[in-house]
Amino acid sequence: MVEAIPAHVSKRPSLHLDHLTVIAPSLAEGVAHVRACLDLDVPFGQRHAYLGTHNHLLQLGGSVYLEIVALDPEGRAPRRPRWFGLDDQASVRRAWDKGRRLRGWVARTDGIDAVLAGRENIFGRKVALPFDDPTFDFAIPDDGSLPGDGAYPSLIDRRGKARSMATMADLGARLQAITLECPDPAAILRLYDAFAIDTRPLVQPGPALCYRASIETPAGVKELT
């Protein structure tokens, strides 16, 4: 389930659940998987010309949304490794074929420098995007990989501006719960506890890293994996 953290928690850096990420070998496969799980057709979102990726987007209630993201085969190679590990297509395919499709979550912060202080080895370095006219900052490891293979959130700082939901499809899906299974829950929880997080996955022991999201849809509550 989604674990709510009391608002009065200390002066630890604040993080907020921003969105969930399905990382796919192709957008067609990602959309088909979400359709099979949720019985919803998620429409196209946008191209990230600056990183050579593209996505489909779906509102999940409030300011939280789902992103289906993949390498854009028609896009230009970026000046640095892509985010979400998408340069390593063999690894993306292996995870996909193992059923690891909901691969992680992105946390929003209004103070990315404070969050990254002493933790760049975990989250990566701050990258201002788009490169030519930056409007937000995203933490990306130097090799483009997911933080902790997805166990830890990716970080975004929109520089004080809220993410517009107006152009994002609202098909009646509402996030109910997120669960993360992993071999070492204690290590993940230690990092989570370093922050004041408004919502975060419920972390449970399991043989391998695996996310599940319970999502209410017009056809009932369904599970996205």
In tens, the pLDDT along 71-127 reads 999 999 999 999 999 999 999 999 999 999 999 999 999 999 999 999 999 999 999
Cβ atoms of residues 73 and 86 within 8 Å: no
Asked if residue 4 belongs to a domain, the reply is no
Cα–Cα nearest to 222, from 25, 53, 58: 58
Asked if residue 223 belongs to a domain, the reply is no
| Alpha-carbon distances, residue 158 vs 105, 115, 149, 203 (angstroms) | 16, 14, 23, 27
CATH number, domain of 68, equals 3.10.180.10
- Cβ partners under 8 Å of residue 166, min gap 6: none
Asked if residue 81 belongs to a domain, the reply is yes
Q: What is the pTM (predicted TM-score) of this model?
A: 0.93
Question: How many domains are contained in the chain?
Answer: 1
Nearest-angstrom CA–CA distance, 141 and 122: 8
| Mean pLDDT (whole number) for 186-193 | 94
- Cis status of the peptide bond prior to 130, with omega within 30 of 0: yes
Partners of 222 in beta bridges: 215
Asked if residue 109 belongs to a domain, the reply is yes
Range of the domain at 107: 10-171
Q: What's the confidence (pLDDT) of residue 201?
A: 96
In tens, the pLDDT along 29-55 reads 999 999 999 999 999 999 999 999 999
Asked if residue 159 belongs to a domain, the reply is yes
Per-residue pLDDT band for 2 (boundaries 50, 70, 90) equals very low
